[in-house]
Amino acid sequence: MKKRKIGAAGLEVSAVGYGCMGLSHGYGETPEKDEAIALMRNAYELGCNFFDTAEAYGAGENEKLVGEGIAPIRQNIILATKFRIYPDEEVSTMPQLMKAVESHLDASLKRLKTDYVDLYYQHRVSKQIPVEAIAWCMGELIKKGKIRGWGQSQSTAEQIRLAHAVTPMTAVQSEYSIMERTFEKEVIPACGELGIGFVPFSPLGSGFLSGKYTPAQEYKGDDVRRVITRFEKENMVANQPLLDLLHLFAQEKNATPAQISLAWMLYKYKFLVPIPGSRKPERIAENLHAADLELTPGEFNRIETELANIEIHGNRTDEDIARLYQ
List, by residue number, the catalytic residues: 57
Separation between Cα atoms, residue 229 and residue 67, nearest integer Å: 33
Separation between Cα atoms, residue 51 and residue 106, nearest integer Å: 19
Beta strands in the chain (DSSP E): 3-6, 11-14, 18-19, 50-52, 78-83, 117-122, 147-153, 171-175, 197-201
How deeply is 5 buried, as exposed, middle or buried, from its count of CB atoms within 10 A (0-12, 13-18, 19+)?
middle
The angle subtended at Cα 102 by Cα 194 and Cα 57, nearest 5°, is: 80
Separation between Cα atoms, residue 236 and residue 127, nearest integer Å: 34
- Give the long-range contacts of residues 86-90, CB within 8 A, separation 24 or more: 87/128
Collapsing DSSP to helix, strand or coil, 297 comes out as helix
Separation between Cα atoms, residue 293 and residue 290, nearest integer Å: 5
How deeply is 80 buried, as exposed, middle or buried, from its count of CB atoms within 10 A (0-12, 13-18, 19+)?
buried
Give the pairing type, strands 147-153 and 117-122.
Answer: parallel
Selection from 86, 22, 9, 72 nearest residue 44 by Cα: 72
Selection from 19, 6, 4 nearest residue 284 by Cα: 19
State the sign of the Cα–Cα–Cα–Cα dihedral 213, 218, 221, 222: positive
